[in-house]
Structure 1
Amino acid sequence: MSAIVWTAAGSLAAWLWLLLGQGFFWRTDVRLPPRRDPEAWPSVGVVVPARDEAAVLPASLPSLLAQDYPGRAEVVLVDDGSTDGTGALARELAHRHGGLPLTVTSPGEPPAGWTGKLWAVRHGIGLARARGPEYLLLTDADIAHAPDSLRQLVAAAGPGGFDVVSQMARLRVESRWERLVVPAFVYFFAQLYPFRRIARKGGRTAAAAGGCVLLRAEAAERARIPDTIRHAVIDDVALARAVKSSGGHIWLGLAEGVDSVRPYPRLHDLWRMVSRSAYTQLRHNPLLLAGTVAGLVLVYLVPPLALIAGVAAGGTAATVLGGTAWLVMTGTYVPMLRYYRQPLWLAPLLPCTAFLYLLMTVDSAVRHYRGRGAAWKGRTYTRPDAVVGEES
């Protein structure tokens, strides 16, 4: 039992550090910073890259067109080689619903060295810049915005002097697999990139959420966005790092009124979402992979295993240490479940979810070495990112 006791002690120590020393990542009160209406509302160009999004566009695009924004704003939807009529549907929705002006365009296939999404974003930014906007809103085709979303983002950017204001859209949580996996996805992201540290000037931690990024046009030019990150698979983190490295001030937090409408009804759908970029996050490094697997085992799997082993063998120390670590883990997960309005009995199941993420990460590495890399909607990216996320 001594080996189990020492391992459980190490796990508890890790959890105490995570609880107090990792930017209070588990708190969910990081919402839009203080907002103030400007005297004159700046112009905004909204860029929406879309590839085969006809299934979700009716639930998302009308919300963008209906933005209650006092200044000038226009929407550019970039049809990235869709085969399902995405572009035609976008025009039809604009004709039916009205609202902000909409331009639908297509850039053609991306050249070598570009991901499809970032090539589409480059094309969309180029068109938007022709109107000289002060801000760019980069948002995904599966994101629905509350009517005042754009107004709130702009009002938050000015007082804080932020070059990037990004909200992590509330993902859909309806199927049983979504309930088990999705809140943990955001929880793990916040653990890796604590939101409070992202907003610190001069800090190293940089991240954004690609579904909703308000970007100051001047900062985009200074950081040469998106050219400097053209082959980044994890493009939102790469964008934030590029802006921060060029002297920009960024903010990221949880959203109210910005929701993803994309369903992930099956485990296979969620598995593909995570595994397509997990090994990219680890810089395609086998040593980082091994360290991540070991870390997941120590932090998430050891507590319940130590508790079970202690109870079975009558080992008080293993029982107490494992049980306490599991209790701390459970407690840190409760705020995220509340944010997603999920039952709290899911909190003790976090080790099971972490084990799934461990398998997804290993699968991501296996796919990479089999030459399938980061595959998404018919495109496969086997080349590592030139710009990757930076851990805190």
Structure 2
Amino acid sequence: MSALVWTTAVSLAAWCWLLLCRGFFWRADVRLPQRAEPGEWPSVCVVVPARDEAAVLPASLPSLLAQDYPGRAEVFLVDDGSADGTGELARELAGRHGGLPLTVDSPGEPPAGWTGKLWAVRHGIGLAGARGPEYLLLTDADIAHAPDSLRSLVAAARAGGYDVVSQMARLRADSPWERLVVPAFVYFFAQLYPFRWIGRRGARTAAAAGGCVLLRADTARRARIPDAIRHAVIDDVALARAVKAAGGHVWLGLADRVDSVRPYPRLHDLWRMVSRSAYAQLRHNPLLLLGTVAGLALVYLVPPVAVAAGALAGDGAAAAAGGAAWAVMAATYLPMLRYYRQPRWLAPLLPFTAFLYLLMTVDSAVQHYRGRGAAWKGRTYARPGTVPDEG
């Protein structure tokens, strides 16, 4: 047997393992549990960190202010040094739409060792602490919530005994590049962090989706959120790990009525979204980078290459094995495409999308070593451990 056949057979075996032994990550059916509503609704404070979000705030903030929540709830928008009038616009929207009480405040520039978002979250949690809430809803400024979003999150948390209930907001997938890249982004995330494993008590797998995180307030204090994760660029995963390390129970699933309103119309926009944190996901480790590149190539690129090379060289075994692996790959992608309401013909294009992600990951490492890693909205964050640690 040729080296190509052996390599393709390994790729096919990897896909069989992913299909059956990776928590059924490819199934898009992990949704917010429908639970009976509690007899007494706990108080909730919503914390929204916002930096230069005037373009999206009119489509997101009114949805939070309009929450149909039977208990006491209010919103704290923390303006993280915006230069586009985000804070003023938030006050204007609250005056125009009414609804839940809104407080707008600013914490000033973050000190060394803090990301801007987490510094803003810390300030918001501090403001909310005076109200003594039982739960905190941490949500991004580009996330729009259905009117019953908050009550559904709280009902699921109370009934399931969860310390964190997080929904991965449905990202926008309207432009051609969004259709090609966005569903794969969520598919790859679920492959790294299978949702079914996250929800198991005692399981080590931990992740959350930062756009929508309902967090029990006493758990936040016990896990020292956000101080314990103050330098994390991928703050949602770090939050879930801190909660689990403190003995908490985490649930993560796909959202039905929580949507991101931020557009990513160009490949450049999507590239920046992925590359700013990809190397941080690999803990800035060159060996992990090499392993990731090799793994992506073996799993996603070898099957189509084997089909083409096998057909040209008359190697039927290589072409057959590559075709089988490609078919399994495409089949596992179909549920995510259905969730995003995208055509099925995009499924066989997953190897091309994976190749784009491979390049984005390499670019993330290159930008890191050039001193421009984890750059976002005018800030560049140092690798953890290169800044003084606070007590």
Task: Report the TM-score when normalising by structure 2.
Answer: 0.98
Task: Report the TM-score when normalising by structure 1.
Answer: 0.98
* Structure 2 residue aligned with 1:251: 251
SS of residue paired to 1:265:
coil
* Structure 1 residue aligned with 2:127: 127
Measure the CA separation in 2 of the matches of 1:2 and 1:81. 59
* Structure 2 residue aligned with 1:366: 366
- 1:110 equivalent in alignment to 2:117: no
Measure the CA separation in 2 of the matches of 1:83 and 1:35. 42
Contact 2:113 2:384 in 1 (8 A): no
* One-letter amino acid of the counterpart of residue 283, structure 2: R
Measure the CA separation in 1 of the matches of 2:384 and 2:28. 32
Measure the CA separation in 2 of the matches of 1:212 and 1:167. 6
CA deviation map 1:47-81 (0-9, x unaligned):
00000000000000000000000000000000000
Measure the CA separation in 2 of the matches of 1:70 and 1:159. 16
* Structure 2 residue aligned with 1:50: 50
Measure the CA separation in 2 of the matches of 1:101 and 1:284. 42
SS of residue paired to 1:76:
strand
* Structure 1 residue aligned with 2:14: 14
SS of residue paired to 1:233:
coil
* Structure 2 residue aligned with 1:3: 3
Measure the CA separation in 1 of the matches of 2:140 and 2:129. 19
What's the offset of the Cα at 1:385? 7.5
SS of residue paired to 1:278:
helix
SS of residue paired to 1:13:
helix
* One-letter amino acid of the counterpart of residue 79, structure 1: D
* Structure 1 residue aligned with 2:382: 382
What's the offset of the Cα at 1:36? 1.7
* Structure 1 residue aligned with 2:148: 148
- 1:137 equivalent in alignment to 2:140: no
Measure the CA separation in 2 of the matches of 1:35 and 1:323. 43
- 1:204 equivalent in alignment to 2:204: yes
Measure the CA separation in 2 of the matches of 1:256 and 1:123. 30
Measure the CA separation in 2 of the matches of 1:348 and 1:373. 32
* Structure 2 residue aligned with 1:288: 288
- 1:80 equivalent in alignment to 2:57: no
Contact 1:233 1:385 in 2 (8 A): no
Contact 1:15 1:328 in 2 (8 A): yes
Measure the CA separation in 2 of the matches of 1:118 and 1:279. 19
User: Residues 232-243 of structure 1 correspond to what in structure 2 (within 5 A)?
Assistant: 232-243=232-243
* Structure 2 residue aligned with 1:389: none
Contact 1:36 1:158 in 2 (8 A): no
Structural RMSD (CA):
0.9
* Structure 2 residue aligned with 1:264: 264
Measure the CA separation in 2 of the matches of 1:345 and 1:373. 35
What's the offset of the Cα at 1:316? 1.2
Measure the CA separation in 2 of the matches of 1:53 and 1:159. 34
Measure the CA separation in 1 of the matches of 2:303 and 2:49. 43
Measure the CA separation in 2 of the matches of 1:272 and 1:182. 13
SS of residue paired to 1:253:
strand
Aligned length: 386
CA deviation map 1:225-262 (0-9, x unaligned):
00000000000000000000100000000001100000
Query: Structure 1 vs Structure 2: percent identity of aligned residues?
Result: 84
* Structure 2 residue aligned with 1:32: 32
Measure the CA separation in 2 of the matches of 1:300 and 1:384. 31
Measure the CA separation in 2 of the matches of 1:35 and 1:209. 21
Measure the CA separation in 2 of the matches of 1:24 and 1:174. 27
SS of residue paired to 1:262:
coil
What's the offset of the Cα at 1:338? 0.2
SS of residue paired to 1:368:
helix
Contact 1:115 1:381 in 2 (8 A): yes
SS of residue paired to 2:39:
coil
What's the offset of the Cα at 1:129? 1.2
User: Residues 336-347 of structure 1 correspond to what in structure 2 (within 5 A)?
Assistant: 336-347=336-347
* Structure 1 residue aligned with 2:389: none
Contact 1:232 1:385 in 2 (8 A): no
Measure the CA separation in 2 of the matches of 1:111 and 1:381. 11
- 1:304 equivalent in alignment to 2:304: yes
What's the offset of the Cα at 1:276? 0.2
Measure the CA separation in 1 of the matches of 2:383 and 2:121. 20
CA deviation map 1:333-354 (0-9, x unaligned):
0000000000000000000000
* Structure 2 residue aligned with 1:357: 357
Structure 1 unmatched ranges of 5 or more: 387-392
Structure 2 unmatched ranges of 5 or more: 387-391
Measure the CA separation in 1 of the matches of 2:86 and 2:34. 37
Measure the CA separation in 2 of the matches of 1:203 and 1:151. 27
What's the offset of the Cα at 1:382? 2.2
